[in-house]
Structure 1
């Protein structure tokens, strides 16, 4: 497992170096419900190229966040799932999803958002007060 150090001394920097970017949080969110095969994961994300998905999964695997299982079958089958460390990111990913939904609703962005993992992922309680 690769150990990442912060240049600024900030733990947020370490978190972002592991799971930051455009695709990694999306990949992790789609793995919350459980194992997925490569093709299934790519179809559920939409807009990501096979090359980018492969690169991002490799980085997440190297960081110890995602586990890759190769089955000795013909044709070969490969599953991806979150490790225990990866599953510990669930509250962060759910909070990001909830924040994005609230932001989109507040500013009438491109309409309602839909996430495949939404049905199985818990939603944080609605906040009644506005935060200043």
Structure 2
């Protein structure tokens, strides 16, 4: 069972995947909406994470033949099976979240001279 759980965890491992899945569990999003909803994510990283989630069958991508092109993302039926897990995490956070230390928001290297 250890190997199976490792594979399950790897589907959602990634800097932004859980946040993406949490948002998409609530509703369908366009790319720009997702980017605005996730502070700190770059366009490149969001694209990479969405592609991985799509390849794993957890997110579907719909492209509309419009000018400018419109792309919408939503979770698949397979990913909806994670709904109870996300709900359990929400319940856990509501009970214990205030006891979790706040970490500094800055990530990565700081610019020289700062």
TM-score range, shorter-chain basis?
Answer: 0.7 to 0.9
After superposition, give the CA deviation of every residue in 1:60-86 in whole Å (9 maximum; x if it has no partner): 000000000000000000000001001
Q: TM-score, normalised by structure 1?
A: 0.70
Q: Which runs of 4+ in 1 moved over 4 A?
A: none
Q: Is the 8 A contact 2:25 2:80 kept in 1?
A: yes
User: Aligned-pair RMSD on alpha carbons?
Assistant: 1.7
Aligned residues: 102
Deviations 1:69-112 (A, max 9, x none): 0000000000000010011111112222332343322x2634xx
Task: Give TM-score scaled by structure 2 length.
Answer: 0.80
Q: Which residue of 2 aligns with 1:22?
A: 15
Q: Aligned equivalents of 2:40 and 2:87: distance in 1?
A: 21
Gaps of 5+ in 2: 103-114
* Structure 1 gap ranges (5+): 1-7, 111-132
Q: 2:59 aligns with which of 60, 66, 69?
A: 66
Match of 1:104 in 2: 97
CA distance in 2, matches of 1:76, 1:36: 14
